[in-house]
A and B are shown apart, each in its own frame.
Chain A
Amino acid sequence: MKPYKIALLGLMLTMLAACDLEREDFTEIYEDNFFQTETDLKLAVDGLYYDFNTGDWYGTDVLGGVFCADYNGYQVMSDLTTDVMWCNWGWESDEMYFHQWTATTGTIQKQFWNMFAHYNYMSKARNTIRRIEASPVEQSVKDKYLGEAHALRGWMGLFLYDMFGPVPIAPDNVLDNPETFVYLPRLTDEEYDEMMEEDLLAAISLLPDMPEERGRMAKGPARMILLKYYMIRGQFEKAEKIARDLYAMQGQYDLFAGEYADIFSVANAGNNEVILCRPINIDVSNAVNYFTAECMPEDMPGAPNGEGWGGYVMAWDFYDTFEAGDKRLANVYASYTNNTGETVSRQDMTYGAVALKYGIDPQMQGGMSHNDIVVYRYSDVLLSLAELIVRNGGPVSGEATDLVNRVRTRAGLGNLDATATASPEAFLDAILLERGHEFWFEGLRRQDLIRYGKYVEYANDRIDKINASEGRGYFNVDDSHNRMPIPADFINESKSAIKQNPLY
């Protein structure tokens, strides 16, 4: 080889080798290119809504969405562990209905894990808030998205507190050093209160009265979340104040003028009784209503392309507490005619009545219905305010009773009878039952019963009853069950800085 050729070759090699090697991936969006425009902020905040999704049936997602329709869902967990909801599938659902779990046993551990694992959302939302604050976008634009982000953080904070009590929350300096292992304990209740108020009061002040699109955060939903939190915390005076703010939004929100059952129909999506919902679009894989399919019997006609999985039912004992003529039973069936024309009667339905919160969507495709999942409604504002007035020492008669009667009237019932208004205790008990009838399968029952101190009591009643009738040998449970146990994985990870809920 001639020398000049060798030299040329050498030069070529050196040139090639001297360059830094480069990797490209066009699906990655880098930091210096994001949080720069309003669109970026919107995309980031829209990302925060994902976790509250209605999930895919049986959780093909990594974590079931907060509102998924299987056992991992907040609403299912909140009703299936109470007197309202039972399930035809036995096994795990009986574990839930009869509270057969401890801190370590029960297949339900998987659900606890999935629910608790959402707690890093608090860090994600906090980081998003900080990134928005640091972004070069104009302040008025930032405020709009900050309001949503704060409200969403509060929403997740509520869900976690409701299930587990206070969870660990990473302070900013810990978030800034993600590779450092800090073994955080749970917040105290007071610290948690402070965080919740900080987020939700900021949200209430920044957000518009009404959302741009249904499902988005606005003043109403943010107040509703704070109201729920105060009620769970037993801070009834603060709660009453917020409830009154909500009540004052009458006009923007109101009781739906039509039939109770139609509040939940596809046609009435976005009606003004619904304060917060999860909007459904069955083309979006995790924004699908599978809840109806979970409840609808397989042989029930009404949706030519739909399918029912025949799971959740309204337990008979609860069904029997409804007064005659209660319109809220419109979509609850103690018997029905199936698709071969046979009558399926109460005797054939072992566990409970067919209860279709959302009715049957005739356009249902397979297990997918088009009805929005309802989260909070204005009737809850009325019943909560009535309860709070009395809890705060106010009179039963007058405003409080009127509020309850408004809800009863819409249900086609007469006013509360005299025994129900005879004493504050009787009145509060009447409200609890009224709430059960009004909000069945909306995932509020668990927190209501706990607030009344009846969650565990009712569970033991069910256990005693089934043990007596079927000899199932279930164990009784204690007040530990007012909170779900914190999964052992998280306690271990924290080197026991996280303490298990008491009594477990």
Chain B
Amino acid sequence: MATMAAVALTALYALAQITVSGVVTDEQGEPLIGASVAEVGTQHANATDLDGKFTLKNVAEGATIRVSYVGYTAQEQTAATQMTFVLKASAAVMDEVVVVGYGSMKKSNLSGAVSSVKADELPTAGSASVGEMLRGRAAGMNITSSSATPGGALNIAIRGGLSGQKPLVVIDGVPQAPASNMSSGTIYGGAAKDNSGLINLNPNDIESIDVLKDASAAAIYGSDASGGVILITTKRGKEGKPEVTYSGSVAFSRIKDAPEFMNARDFMITQNQVFDELGRSSEKRWTQAQIDNFVGEGTDWMDEVTRTGVVNEHNLSVTAGGKHTRSLFSVSYYNHEGLVKNNSMNRLTGRLNVDHEFSKKVKAGVNSSFTQLKYNDVPMGDARQQNSAVIYSAMTFIPTVPVYDENGDYSTNPFRNLYPNPVSLLEITDQTTSRSLYVSGYLEYKPWDFLSIRATGGVDINWTQADQYSPRTTLHGATLNGEASKQNANAQMNLVNIIANFNKTFADIHDLSVMAGWEYKKSSWNGMGIVANDFPFDNALMNNMGASQQEKPNISSYRGTNEMASWIGRVNYVLMDKYILTANVRVDGSSNFSPEHQWGVFPGVSAAWKINEEEWLRDKQWLSTLKLRAGWGQTGNAGNLTGINTYYSVMSSPAWAPGGHATNGVSMAKLGNPNLKWETLTDINIGIDAGFFQNRLQFNIDAYQRTRSDVILSKELMSYQEITSIDYNSQEKYRSRGIDIGIHSVNISNRDFEWSTDLNVSFYKNETITRDPDFIPAPYQPMQQDWGAVYGWKTDGLVQQGQSYAHLPSSGAGAIKYLDVNGYVLDANGERMRDSDGRYMLSGEPDGLLDEADMVELFNSTPIPFSINNTFRWKNWDANIYIYGSLRGRKINDVKLQSVYGVQDITYGINVLTDVANRWRPGNPYGDMPGVAEASSGFNPSQSDFFYENAWYLRLDNVSIGYTFPSKLFKDKIKNLRLYAAARNIAVFTPYKGMDPETGNGIGAYPNNFSVAVGLDLKF
């Protein structure tokens, strides 16, 4: 009994519990917030509060308390009622893990050029696509929006885009199938859409993004990687209590860069003037009384077709995990009502990521996501005349008429009833729905600690349906008695790979990892489409196409497949944690080539030296990181051209109706080149990573050279041949050289206030360095040519009254004065002589003719991408200011060129820019815009410097402020609540006078917007 009592007492003694409290700070005495405090060997844990304090109740006396915090070395102490933990910053503070393709690596052990972006560093408010959010975030990755439409296309160019290929987007190890834009097959279509694959992602699902920039890193993806690789890792479930995260925001946007066109009265005055200037005074349409008595400004068509844009988004994600199974589930809703009426984009996504451990050795998981994108498009584009789209129409439609005439019908242009009323174009139904299902699963077997074998299977399926109807209320619809289009396209990519990873450290200093694998990919696509007109009624839209009375509607269908197989290998060796060597190789086979040329070998090798780990630098306190990297590698490119077969095809644009009956013809469509082989990109990269003062100041600088050879091009054959081009491996060589610079600085960091700055800037130059032997350069063209060089005629103002120039035989007063600066060398027969390159020889003297001889290099327009990001934290407040842009650019002001050069169109009632008032005319000899005479000069002003403008720009893209409520306020029921407000695209600093220097391309560009957003992030 006594024994029993003793045992019980002992047990009681052992169960004696105390309340432990204490504080956790860093070496400077600053409290560490959110450090995890746990009783070792139990589930018993808590986190430090805002003052770094913690309390753990019911801790067994004598237990061990462990405190850990990211970036610091964990510490253990025996439990006491009052405890103090002073954590030391861990040496591996920046040792994040970076995904490098078929595996991951410690960032400090990287030897290639890789940029990493953490998703939570990106401001999300109002951005549809991860691509949009990534603009300027990684040095060497230049992302520009080619259009400001909701979900509009992005150009992503990694390192100058020399390869001409889009970057490969790899999500959780499975590459995405490339998508393509669909055409309605009618005269109308929306703006090009973002088909980078990034638009399908819910930005909130993303954990991190890694960009493989050079071939030593990207070669592991072989031929798909010639445009660089964007690796996306999605969030996964974590062990612990379920965590629910909600975020939502709403943004309102307003038009920002609409060009200024004339109001009704100015239009009338200008039209009369132009008739006078053309010597056609008798055709003037307006009397002075009509002009004087016109009431109001006339119709502002841009105003009629635009509205306040609204973006709404809601995201919900749940993570949960037990010992063996962890999962993440998320859904999101994104809806963007665009600036142009009836134009919208809507996205729904759902994701389920599950990981399960069957045993210590076997693990499996599934990543699946579903995305639905719905676009309501309005006609976009640069077409003129009767095919004019909404924006071009809204700019130029005659301002003197109201939207509707007295019968309630859409007003027409009284001068020429050819142009569609801009508001009528909004009656066109144009819907595209794209659904994609993306599922991948893996099974990992880990027989020993040092070896794992993982098999992955993935499938990416896309279904796209595009529907369009132009009703009779539009001019086009009226012409055809309604026109309907239905197009669908399906694409599927199946992928399977098996990868083995070996990882072992020998004798403490030899760290070796080896990866080997095999991959197979098959893509298939098919689709069909119908375009029909002549419907008895409009109300069924495109949903009852059987009602069409058209004799031969336009029908089409297609199907195709291709295959690719690869062997992959990589060896990574680290000696003494100082010297790093990585070698990889990929053997790719592509069905784009005939069997004897199908396989290509693409190796990469790189090395790095962590200099700061050397004895002689180790104790330098100010230096935290110094690493030198060098790499060489090759990637292949199977090209977009698949011309190994000679074939005939049914001729695409019907043109033949013997006896009035529609009849198809077949003609040779392609000349096959069975010798077509892989094109190769060879990269050299030298980089340096340096960090000072506990990495508070970091530099990442990479210099590179990329050469593209055996370029697969379509070769122009002699123009008299039946087929005038053939796909071939050109002897042209392209080269890109550049420097990417990234600077990260924590300017201020203390308990209450933190300010950090990131700066990225890239310089590059793309050149053609070798030409094909058949190439004949233009007289102004060097054999080695900078891609950014713009060639054209120089100008010197306008031709004035009484002046005439021999080289401008048809240029009257007010025409552009192009300069005759050069001429050809003629032989005895009066024929032009050629130099050894085949180029016409130039005399260096003006010859009284304006031609190619007079063209010179006018500008260099290669962009210099630049961005600067500032983040601030003051107590619970956070703020961000983000600016990006390009420090160089030259661009034709297209709207101005069209309006000024085409000023004669005003005689048909087409409105013109207010700049046109400043044109040369007899009463305004000091006008600096050309007058009506230019149009009959016989020269094209876009081939001169006249309408080029300097177009560097800096966009103040994001200014946001947020407040995070302390969880204490909610008694820990809510872990995190953040409210924020953001203003987007607040200002663009640029000398460019046209529409937006980034998105304002062409004469009918979608206007860009300024927006204000508010949102909240909630976690519980």
How many Å lie between the Cα of A117 and that of B666 in the bound state?
A: 20
Contacts A50-B655, A122-B720, A309-B418; is A34 near B666 (CB within 8 Å)?
A: yes
Contacts A46-B665, A350-B282; is A496 near B831 (CB within 8 Å)?
A: yes
Contacts A17-B518, A470-B279; is A123 near B721 (CB within 8 Å)?
A: yes
Instruction: Please tell me if A257 contacts chain B, counting CB pairs below 8 Å.
Output: no
How many Å lie between the Cα of A22 and that of B554 in the bound state?
A: 30
Question: Which of chain B's residues have a CB closer than 8 A to the CB of A495?
Answer: 776, 834, 838
Q: Are B665 and A31 in contact (CB under 8 A)?
A: no
| The stretch of B216-224, B396-404, B589-597, B698-706 that contacts the partner chain | B589-597
Instruction: Please tell me if B558 contacts chain A, counting CB pairs below 8 Å.
Output: yes
Q: Which of A28, A95, A283 contacts B649 (CB 8 A)?
A: A28
Question: Which of chain B's residues have a CB closer than 8 A to the CB of A320?
Answer: none
Chain B: minimal CB distance from A429 (Å): 33
| The stretch of B136-144, B364-372, B561-569, B621-629 that contacts the partner chain | B561-569
Q: Are B665 and A281 in contact (CB under 8 A)?
A: no
Contacts A53-B656, A286-B654; is A21 near B720 (CB within 8 Å)?
A: no
Q: Are A106 and B938 in contact (CB under 8 A)?
A: yes
Instruction: Please tell me if A202 contacts chain B, counting CB pairs below 8 Å.
Output: no
Q: Which of B647, B660, B671 contacts A281 (CB 8 A)?
A: B660
| The stretch of B193-201, B333-341, B373-381, B473-481 that contacts the partner chain | B473-481
How many Å lie between the Cα of A145 and that of B954 in the bound state?
A: 65
Chain A: minimal CB distance from B284 (Å): 12
In the complex, per-residue mask of A118-144: 1 if CB is within 8 Å of any chain B CB, else 0: 011011100100000000000000000
Task: Give the number of residue pairs across the A-B interface with Cβ within 8 Å.
Answer: 266
| The stretch of A177-185, A412-420, A430-438 that contacts the partner chain | A177-185
Q: Are B655 and A9 in contact (CB under 8 A)?
A: no
Q: Are A307 and B660 in contact (CB under 8 A)?
A: no
Contacts A179-B717, A269-B660; is A47 near B565 (CB within 8 Å)?
A: no
| The stretch of A211-219, A245-253, A354-362, A456-464 that contacts the partner chain | A211-219
Instruction: Please tell me if B849 contacts chain A, counting CB pairs below 8 Å.
Output: yes
Instruction: Please tell me if A325 contacts chain B, counting CB pairs below 8 Å.
Output: no
- A25: nearest chain-B partner, CB-CB: B560
Instruction: Please tell me if A1 contacts chain B, counting CB pairs below 8 Å.
Output: yes
Contacts A58-B385, A298-B416; is A16 near B838 (CB within 8 Å)?
A: no
Question: Which of chain A's residues have a CB closer than 8 A to the CB of B719?
Answer: 117, 119-120, 490, 493
A interface secondary structure, majority: loop
| The stretch of B33-41, B576-584, B722-730 that contacts the partner chain | B722-730
Q: Are B717 and A31 in contact (CB under 8 A)?
A: no
Question: Which of chain B's residues have a CB closer than 8 A to the CB of A302?
Answer: none
Instruction: Please tell me if B58 contacts chain A, counting CB pairs below 8 Å.
Output: no
Chain A: minimal CB distance from B771 (Å): 14
- A44: nearest chain-B partner, CB-CB: B666
Q: Are B565 and A17 in contact (CB under 8 A)?
A: yes
How many Å lie between the Cα of A43 and that of B669 in the bound state?
A: 14
Q: Which of B520, B554, B838, B936 contacts A94 (CB 8 A)?
A: B936
- A47: nearest chain-B partner, CB-CB: B665
Q: Which of A78-111 contact B (CB under 8 A)?
A: 90-91, 94-95, 100-102, 104-107
Chain B: minimal CB distance from A22 (Å): 5
- B594: nearest chain-A partner, CB-CB: A20
Instruction: Please tell me if B76 contacts chain A, counting CB pairs below 8 Å.
Output: no
How many Å lie between the Cα of A42 and that of B565 in the bound state?
A: 42
Q: Are A496 and B279 in contact (CB under 8 A)?
A: no
Chain B: minimal CB distance from A80 (Å): 16
Question: Which of chain A's residues have a CB closer than 8 A to the CB of B668?
Answer: 124, 127
Q: Are B655 and A287 in contact (CB under 8 A)?
A: yes
Instruction: Please tell me if A49 contacts chain B, counting CB pairs below 8 Å.
Output: yes
Instruction: Please tell me if B664 contacts chain A, counting CB pairs below 8 Å.
Output: yes
Place the interface of chain B in its size category: 35 or more
Q: Are B654 and A287 in contact (CB under 8 A)?
A: yes
Question: Which of chain A's residues have a CB closer than 8 A to the CB of B475?
Answer: 366
Question: Which of chain A's residues have a CB closer than 8 A to the CB of B480?
Answer: 365-366
Chain A: minimal CB distance from B732 (Å): 16
Q: Are A216 and B658 in contact (CB under 8 A)?
A: yes
Chain B: minimal CB distance from A194 (Å): 18
Q: Are A31 and B646 in contact (CB under 8 A)?
A: yes
Q: Are A23 and B834 in contact (CB under 8 A)?
A: no
Q: Are B551 and A90 in contact (CB under 8 A)?
A: no
Max count, chain A CB within 10 A of own CB: residue among B481, B591, B650, B660? B660
Question: Which of chain A's residues have a CB closer than 8 A to the CB of B323?
Answer: none
Q: Which of B417, B591, B726 contacts A178 (CB 8 A)?
A: B726
How many Å lie between the Cα of A216 and that of B665 in the bound state?
A: 13
Instruction: Please tell me if B968 contacts chain A, counting CB pairs below 8 Å.
Output: no
Contacts A26-B560, A181-B718; is A105 near B657 (CB within 8 Å)?
A: no
Question: Which of chain B's residues have a CB closer than 8 A to the CB of A94?
Answer: 936
- A211: nearest chain-B partner, CB-CB: B658
Q: Are B774 and A1 in contact (CB under 8 A)?
A: no
- A364: nearest chain-B partner, CB-CB: B479
- B721: nearest chain-A partner, CB-CB: A178
Q: Which of A281-298 contact B (CB under 8 A)?
A: 281, 283-287, 298
Question: Which of chain A's residues have a CB closer than 8 A to the CB of B93?
Answer: none
Instruction: Please tell me if B598 contacts chain A, counting CB pairs below 8 Å.
Output: yes
Instruction: Please tell me if B859 contacts chain A, counting CB pairs below 8 Å.
Output: no
Question: Which of chain B's residues have a CB closer than 8 A to the CB of A215?
Answer: 657-659
Q: Which of A21, A105, A298 contacts B809 (CB 8 A)?
A: A105
In the complex, per-residue mask of A169-201: 1 if CB is within 8 Å of any chain B CB, else 0: 110000100110111100000000000000000
Question: Which of chain A's residues have a CB closer than 8 A to the CB of B453?
Answer: 1
Question: Which of chain B's residues have a CB closer than 8 A to the CB of A298?
Answer: 416-418
How many Å lie between the Cα of A20 and that of B592 in the bound state?
A: 11
How many Å lie between the Cα of A493 and that of B967 in the bound state?
A: 75
Q: Are B720 and A95 in contact (CB under 8 A)?
A: no
Q: Which of A205-252 contact B (CB under 8 A)?
A: 211-216
Instruction: Please tell me if A404 contacts chain B, counting CB pairs below 8 Å.
Output: no
Question: Which of chain A's residues have a CB closer than 8 A to the CB of B518?
Answer: 13, 17
Q: Are B810 and A23 in contact (CB under 8 A)?
A: no
Instruction: Please tell me if B445 contacts chain A, counting CB pairs below 8 Å.
Output: yes
Chain B: minimal CB distance from A114 (Å): 12
Chain A: minimal CB distance from B465 (Å): 21
How many Å lie between the Cα of A446 and that of B640 in the bound state?
A: 46
Q: Which of B612-651 contact A (CB under 8 A)?
A: 642, 645-651
Chain A: minimal CB distance from B535 (Å): 13
Instruction: Please tell me if A24 contacts chain B, counting CB pairs below 8 Å.
Output: yes
Q: Which of A449-489 contact B (CB under 8 A)?
A: 470, 472-475, 488
Chain A: minimal CB distance from B842 (Å): 15
Q: Which of A34, A124, A181 contacts B722 (CB 8 A)?
A: A124
How many Å lie between the Cα of A368 and that of B660 in the bound state?
A: 14
Instruction: Please tell me if A279 contacts chain B, counting CB pairs below 8 Å.
Output: yes
Q: Are A47 and B660 in contact (CB under 8 A)?
A: no
Contacts A49-B665, A305-B478; is A26 near B656 (CB within 8 Å)?
A: no
Instruction: Please tell me if B662 contacts chain A, counting CB pairs below 8 Å.
Output: yes
How many Å lie between the Cα of A309 and that of B669 in the bound state?
A: 35
- B812: nearest chain-A partner, CB-CB: A473
In the complex, per-residue mask of B541-561: 1 if CB is within 8 Å of any chain A CB, else 0: 000000000111110001111
Question: Which of chain A's residues have a CB closer than 8 A to the CB of B68?
Answer: none
Chain B: minimal CB distance from A10 (Å): 10
Contacts A24-B560, A184-B720; is A283 near B662 (CB within 8 Å)?
A: yes
Q: Are B938 and A100 in contact (CB under 8 A)?
A: yes
Instruction: Please tell me if A321 contacts chain B, counting CB pairs below 8 Å.
Output: no
Cross-chain pairs A/B with CB under 8 angstroms, 8 sampled: A1-B453, A17-B565, A23-B561, A43-B664, A46-B665, A50-B651, A58-B385, A365-B480
Given contacts A44-B666, A47-B651, A307-B479, 16 further A-B contacts (CB under 8 A): A21-B591, A22-B563, A34-B648, A34-B666, A100-B938, A120-B722, A178-B722, A213-B658, A214-B659, A283-B550, A283-B553, A284-B662, A298-B418, A305-B481, A350-B283, A490-B719
- Using a CB–CB cutoff of 8 Å, the interface residues on chain A facing chain B are 1, 9, 13, 16-17, 20-31, 34, 40, 43-50, 53, 58, 61, 65, 90-91, 94-95, 100-102, 104-107, 117, 119-120, 122-124, 127, 168-170, 175, 178-179, 181-184, 211-216, 269-270, 279-281, 283-287, 298, 305, 307, 309-310, 350, 365-368, 470, 472-475, 488, 490, 492-493, 495-496
